[in-house]
Amino acid sequence: MVDEDAVGTVGRDFARSELDYTPWFFWDRAGDTAKHRQLALQDALAGERAYRLGERCFVSELSSVTNETLELGDRSYVAAGAYLSGSLRAGRDCTINPYTVVRGEIRLGNAVRIGAHTSLIGFNHTMADPDVEVHRQATTAKGITIGDDVWIGSHVVVLDGVTVGDKSVLAAGAVVTKDVPAGAVVGGNPARVIKWRTGPDRPQRRPDGDLAGAVTQFADAAREQAAGIIDRYWDGGTRLFSDQPGAAPTVRAQCDAIEVADLLLGGPPPRLDAAELTDLLRSWQDPATGLVGELGEGHRPTPPEATVFTWPAGYHVLCVGYALDLLGSRFAHPVTVVAEASAADVMDGLRRQDWTDEVWSSGAWVDELGTALHQNARMGAANSPGALEALFGWLLTNADPHTGMWGRAGGPDGLLQVVNGYYRATRGTFAQFGHPVPYADRVIDTVLAHSRDVRYFAPVRQNACNVLDVAHPLWLTRRSGHRSEEVVELARRLLADALRHWTPDQGFGFQAPHPTTASLPATAPSLQGTEMWLAIIWLLSDLAGLSGQLGYRPRGVHRPEPARPR
């Protein structure tokens, strides 16, 4: 035991600071005087700064702690020389060792062990204007989130915006610039996965050991809870649906509520009948352009731009059009801005898309254009001669024979942009019109390669967009037979993961729920997340030969078959 009252004069200065540098020994080895002094310090920090410190915590008097918010769980400590500022929320058994820098918006899970001389920097400088000195420009802050049971070695740097998954290890000297999957061991500059402590490359345990039974159990529970879930997103004051409770109503939320109700209840949402919903959605269409703007003052759509297309009016062509279809109706007017677009306008629009770095948004533009052309034709409104042929001709002649897709593969996002853009582009064209896609085998190769990217397909990193954009292309090309065993195995793995994302009585969030991402709005259950994951589960189940266990089949935006003629 090191007790300041018991050491000699010569050793007192050394003994006084020993436990500041080895604080894991403090509560076992410190004398009563030191313990009382530490508790008094913690009481002062709690009273004067509203810090929240758990049982048997330790904060060295030789550290610099200037946080606006500080929360330390039981048995967590801050050693000598540490520099803390901003907002730090840490769970139990966390260590901030000597000379560690923790600044900005930082969240630590339980049992996060941080080695000496490591820096967690939850903000960044901007340098947009080269004529202004960097220190005079604004800073930005996204924050850093560290999961449970994470070991961070000495001399590690973690930069702003990074999420580190549970049970991962950041090797000494690593410079971490991107998210770290759960269970990964990363090292180097920039840090890369070098092996796995646990992780997505290991076989995943199936729910209840029986995937078919798990699908049936999920479907039964979802139908039983459906009415209450839909009601959760209903705003009685506006008589409209919101994507999340307390959020402002949106056009899409009405459509998602209609789709979820159709899937699980076989009819319109319980709060409104089909006729009332039909009248509402048809009244929102601008007769001059045929588009539906976002809701504004008085919960009425703002006038949309008369262009092909701008967000969110472009997506409303899809969601409102298909919601009306589910209600047995259709738009009151043609999508005029598309009906009047010539073949030359279509070609010009395709060329203006960024097929290099923004393939998803380019594919979305194609999706919205193809859907509007299809809806106009279904209601008997004439499109400009050659416009549809120009769209398909461009897609067929510009598909990459190596990937089967459009846009450039590679870059920091890997295959994410081209695969996600492929789903949007083919959904509104080849899938919706019932035409075969070019280079189907290459598409399968590309999707299977993309699915091995743990940044997007480790269970903790999954979101509805990324999984849908893999499931639909594989379903669209399923008759090829190419690498069919691998396709089925991937579908089963993603299906097992998807079933775990369900939150009882609330539905699905857009992003998979996990303790390391719990603060993100995208993980909270929503109408959008519920509608998308229900469709994803059907597509994956069908690829795995299990869709008969579900008792539903998507008929709206995410329908698997071509849109039916009217």
Write the CB contacts of 408 (distance below 8 Å, at least 6 apart in sequence). Answer: 355, 356, 357, 359, 418
The verdict on 210 and 154 lying in the same domain is no
What is the per-residue pLDDT for 285? 96
What is the per-residue pLDDT for 493? 95
β-bridge pairing 95-96 and 112-114: parallel
Domain presence at residue 310: no
What is the per-residue pLDDT for 117? 97
> Which is nearest to 98 in space by CA: 58, 68, 66?
58
Domain presence at residue 251: no
The verdict on 105 and 210 lying in the same domain is no
> Which is nearest to 92 in space by CA: 54, 125, 43?
54
Domain presence at residue 379: no
Q: Which amino acid is at 436?
A: P
The verdict on 171 and 43 lying in the same domain is yes
Write the CB contacts of 367 (distance below 8 Å, at least 6 apart in sequence). Answer: 318, 424, 425, 427, 428, 429
β-bridge pairing 83-90 and 234-235: unpaired
Q: Give the domain extent around 85.
A: 12-196
- Domain end marker among 196, 216, 241: 196
Q: What is the mean pLDDT of the chain?
A: 91
pLDDT at 84 over 60: yes
How does pLDDT run across 93-114, given as a tens digit for each residue? 999 999 999 999 999 999 999 9
Domain presence at residue 35: yes
The verdict on 41 and 62 lying in the same domain is yes
What is the per-residue pLDDT for 209? 55
Mean pLDDT of 425-437: 95
The verdict on 447 and 505 lying in the same domain is yes
Instruction: Identify the band that residue 4 occupies on the pLDDT scale cut at 50, 70 and 90.
Output: very low
Number of domain units in the chain: 2
What is the per-residue pLDDT for 7? 44
The verdict on 89 and 216 lying in the same domain is no
For the chain, the 3-state helix, strand and coil shares in percent, each to the nearest 5, are: 45, 15, 40
What is the per-residue pLDDT for 194? 85
Task: Report, as residue numbers or ranges, the catalytic residues.
Answer: 125
Instruction: Identify the band that residue 125 occupies on the pLDDT scale cut at 50, 70 and 90.
Output: confident
The verdict on 221 and 183 lying in the same domain is no
Whole-number percent of the chain with pLDDT over 70: 94
Q: What is the pTM of this model?
A: 0.66
Instruction: Identify the band that residue 351 occupies on the pLDDT scale cut at 50, 70 and 90.
Output: very high
The verdict on 85 and 30 lying in the same domain is yes
The verdict on 102 and 118 lying in the same domain is yes
Domain presence at residue 405: no
Domain presence at residue 301: no
- Domain end marker among 156, 181, 196: 196
Q: Among the ranges 189-203, 315-329, 409-423, 516-530, which has the highest mean pLDDT value? A: 315-329
Instruction: Identify the band that residue 14 occupies on the pLDDT scale cut at 50, 70 and 90.
Output: low
Domain presence at residue 161: yes
Longest dimension (CA), the chain: 99
Write the CB contacts of 210 (distance below 8 Å, at least 6 apart in sequence). Answer: none
The verdict on 206 and 143 lying in the same domain is no
Instruction: Identify the band that residue 437 occupies on the pLDDT scale cut at 50, 70 and 90.
Output: very high
Would you say 147 and 166 are in contact if contact means Cβ atoms under 8 Å apart?
Answer: yes
Domain presence at residue 330: no
- Judged by DSSP in three states, 240 sits in strand
Mean pLDDT of 357-375: 95
What is the per-residue pLDDT for 200? 46
The verdict on 49 and 75 lying in the same domain is yes
Lookup: tokens for 187: 């090292």
The verdict on 143 and 214 lying in the same domain is no
Residue with the bigger pLDDT between 313 and 262: it is 262
Would you say 418 and 403 are in contact if contact means Cβ atoms under 8 Å apart?
Answer: yes
